[in-house]
Amino acid sequence: MTREEIRAAVLRTLGEIAPEADPATLVSDVPFRDQLDLDSMDHLNFVIALHAALQVEIPEADYPKLATLDACVDYLAAAATR
Amino acid sequence: MPILTADMSAGTLVEWRKRPGDALARGDTIAVVETDKGLIDIEVFTPGVLEKIIVQPGATVPTGAVLAIVRETTPAAAPSPAPPPRAPVVPPARRAVAPTAAPSDRVRISPLARKRAAELGIDPASVRGTGPGGSIRREDVEQAAAARAAAPAEKPRAPLDRQARARQAIGAAMARSKREIPHYYLATTIDMHRAMTWLAEQNLERPVADRLLYGVLLLKAVALALRDVPELNAVWRESEPVRSEAVHVGVAISLRGGGLVAPALHDTAGKSLGDLMRSFRDLVQRARSGGLRSSELSDPTITVTSLGEQGVESAFGIIFPPQVAIVGFGKIVERPWVVDGQVVARPVVTATLSADHRVSDGHRGGLFLAAVDRLLQEPGRL
């Protein structure tokens, strides 16, 4: 899976959890939580959906590595090759 | 139209899920109603047969208005002819939620008058009582109904958007709570080191979809602590508290774009943490996308509000009538903490209790918060 495909999957997942998320205005290096009204339940659902969509294991200790769009793509691209 | 929350005054019938002649079993969804809290499935609490639909989809009616006529069935009466339908009959959902219905609970009203008010679609809170001590009699209700019928139709007001209506409704309910309930407030700081360590170990073992949020530990600790101070698990009816055997913790959930709803996590004390987490996820999802059930809105026996996500360290809630207590949790923060004479950094959370002084006092409230603390020190037993 390419980085662009991963990025699209992340944005699609985010859109399902926070419908107000607009890919056009989302700043890729600013934490999601500073841009969207997300709580820990939203974040858990985000991780669950990413796991289901990309078949990537995401330990709880790695949750901070999913804070921004750029960080998500980096982490998931690396995880996919493990 | 059932009164689903203390701040509800009307609802719009969106869809009937049953047709006249259909048999109704307990738990069936009979209709879908739109309120300020979104779309709510109205459940049946008494078995019967849907006799006649009164309110058509699209109509907005006040709480207490008759939506349909239902002929109740009684299992023991099977061989005998079916009983004649009562007309008009309060829909089952209304009958079921009436005991915990809030707006009329603080009104002094005779049972007969209450029944008549429901039949006529009159909110008892709007009736002036002429009985002893200002209590409402049947005649008062009928007079109010007659006055309503004779009154010229109200000029249509500019419709408020849903957010504005929700804010108005919450404001009215909270103002009534502060006006009528003598609140007292307590707070304590709880060391979360053991709970958070235990949670991290648990989540290491669990598949991602089964992982727990720390909020679930707090909910379960609250539910179990109510065993020590059961008077906090109650609703105020007429002029006295009625304790609930079941513990249905209402969870305050913020809605996207503003507003909140606090539906019940049924049997919070009896569920395992895994089951509780699944129910919690499902409840949050339905609260935000539509599909809450009427029982979830009418059943809470106490509420938990958790504002730690927003960064606040303590939250003192306003009691949701007819409940008699609300528990608040803030953000988990690292603070200096003394353990065995040494100052160490520990994750701590501020737990608060806002409770009704007519039902409990600070001593009992303090015991409750101490029990929550104690339970969180043994997370494996939750």
Residue range A3-80 forms a domain whose CATH class is: mainly alpha
Each domain of chain A, given as residue ranges in start order, spans 3-80
Residue from B254, B260, B280, B309 to probe the interface with A (highest A Cβ count within 10 Å): B309
Spatial distance between the Cα atoms of B113 and B105, rounded to a whole number of angstroms: 13
Spatial distance between the Cα atoms of B112 and A42, rounded to a whole number of angstroms: 48
Residue B76 has pLDDT above 90, yes or no: no
- Tokens matching residue B233: 């698990």
**Averaged pLDDT for residues B326-352:** 97
- Contact criterion met (CB below 8 Å) for B7 and B173: yes
Q: Are residues B243 and B153 in the same domain?
A: no
Task: Using CA coordinates, name the residue in chain B closest to A62.
Answer: B204
A44 touches chain B (CB under 8 A): yes
Residue B7 has pLDDT above 80, yes or no: no
Spatial distance between the Cα atoms of B332 and B189, rounded to a whole number of angstroms: 10
Which position has the token pair 């009816």?
B237
Confidence of residue B159 (pLDDT cuts 50, 70, 90): low
Q: Are residues B185 and B155 in the same domain?
A: no
Length of chain B: 382
Q: Are residues B189 and B244 in the same domain?
A: yes
Q: How many domains does chain B have?
A: 2
Chain centroid to Cα B52, Å, comes to 29
Residue B205 has pLDDT above 70, yes or no: yes
Residue from A13, A37, A43 to probe the interface with B (highest B Cβ count within 10 Å): A37
Q: Which of B41, B282, B361, B363 is catalytic?
A: B361
pTM across the whole model = 0.76
Identify all chain A residues contacting B256, using CB atoms and an 8 Å cutoff.
Answer: 18-20, 37
- Contact criterion met (CB below 8 Å) for B380 and B219: no
B313: distance to nearest CA of chain A, Å?
16
Across the interface, do B213 and A41 touch by the CB < 8 Å criterion? yes
Give the dihedral sign, CA B98/B101/B104/B108: positive
Q: Are residues B121 and B267 in the same domain?
A: no
Lowest mean pLDDT, pick from A13-22, B145-154, B188-197, B326-335:
B145-154
Spatial distance between the Cα atoms of A74 and B273, rounded to a whole number of angstroms: 33
Task: Using CA coordinates, name the residue in chain A closest to B208.
Answer: A48
Q: Are residues B186 and B154 in the same domain?
A: no
**What percent of chain B has a predicted confidence (pLDDT) above 90?**
57
Question: Is position B4 within any domain?
Answer: no
Residue B226 DSSP code? T
Spatial distance between the Cα atoms of B195 and B214, rounded to a whole number of angstroms: 8
Q: Which pLDDT score, from 0 to 100, does residue B90 have?
A: 39
Confidence of residue B249 (pLDDT cuts 50, 70, 90): very high
Q: Are residues B134 and B186 in the same domain?
A: no
Q: Which pLDDT score, from 0 to 100, does residue B150 have?
A: 67
Residue B5 has pLDDT above 80, yes or no: no
B361 is catalytic: yes
Spatial distance between the Cα atoms of B52 and B66, rounded to a whole number of angstroms: 11
Q: Which pLDDT score, from 0 to 100, does residue B75 have?
A: 57
Q: Are residues B215 and B136 in the same domain?
A: no
Q: Are residues B44 and B119 in the same domain?
A: yes
Query: Pick the residue with more confidence: B131 or B158?
Result: B131
Across the interface, do A40 and B200 touch by the CB < 8 Å criterion? no
A18 touches chain B (CB under 8 A): yes
Identify all chain B residues contacting A44, using CB atoms and an 8 Å cutoff.
Answer: 211, 213, 281
Question: Is position B169 within any domain?
Answer: no
Identify all chain B residues contacting A51, using CB atoms and an 8 Å cutoff.
Answer: 208-209
Q: Which CATH number is B194's domain given? A: 3.30.559.10
Q: Are residues B136 and B22 in the same domain?
A: yes
Lowest mean pLDDT, pick from B109-118, B352-361, B363-372:
B109-118
Lowest mean pLDDT, pick from B33-37, B73-77, B326-330, B346-350:
B73-77
**Averaged pLDDT for residues A47-62:** 92
Q: Which pLDDT score, from 0 to 100, does residue B169 have?
A: 83
**Averaged pLDDT for residues B87-105:** 38
- Tokens matching residue B35: 């309120």
**Averaged pLDDT for residues B165-170:** 83
Residue B352 DSSP code? E
Q: Are strands B234-237 and B264-265 parallel, antiparallel or unpaired?
A: unpaired
Question: Is position B47 within any domain?
Answer: yes
Q: Give the closest of B203, B215, B256 to A60, CB-based.
A: B203
**The complex's ipTM?**
0.88
Mean model confidence pLDDT for chain B: 85
Residue A70 has pLDDT above 60, yes or no: yes
A48 touches chain B (CB under 8 A): yes
Confidence of residue A48 (pLDDT cuts 50, 70, 90): very high
Chain centroid to Cα B273, Å, comes to 22
Boundaries of domain holding B109: 10-160
| Helices and strands, number each (H, E), in chain A | 4, 0
Spatial distance between the Cα atoms of B267 and B282, rounded to a whole number of angstroms: 15
Query: Pick the residue with more confidence: A23 or B242?
Result: B242
Spatial distance between the Cα atoms of B106 and B314, rounded to a whole number of angstroms: 30
Across the interface, do B257 and A20 touch by the CB < 8 Å criterion? yes
Query: pLDDT tens across B292-323, in order?
Result: 999 999 999 999 999 988 789 999 999 999 99
The residue out of B90, B125, B160 marking a domain boundary is: B160
Confidence of residue B158 (pLDDT cuts 50, 70, 90): low
Chain B residues with CB-CB distance to A under 8 A?
A: 200, 203-204, 208-209, 211, 213, 215, 254, 256-257, 280-281, 284-285, 309
Residue B86 has pLDDT above 90, yes or no: no
Q: Which CATH number is B105's domain given? A: 2.40.50.100
Q: Are residues B65 and B102 in the same domain?
A: yes
Q: Which pLDDT score, from 0 to 100, does residue B160 have?
A: 63
Residue A45 has pLDDT above 90, yes or no: yes
Q: Which of B22, B210, B282, B357 is catalytic?
A: B357
Confidence of residue B106 (pLDDT cuts 50, 70, 90): low
Across the interface, do A41 and B209 touch by the CB < 8 Å criterion? no
Residue B359 has pLDDT above 50, yes or no: yes
B357 is catalytic: yes
Residue B381 has pLDDT above 80, yes or no: yes
Query: pLDDT tens across B250-297, in order?
Result: 999 998 877 889 999 999 999 999 999 999 999 999 998 888 999 999
Confidence of residue B18 (pLDDT cuts 50, 70, 90): very high
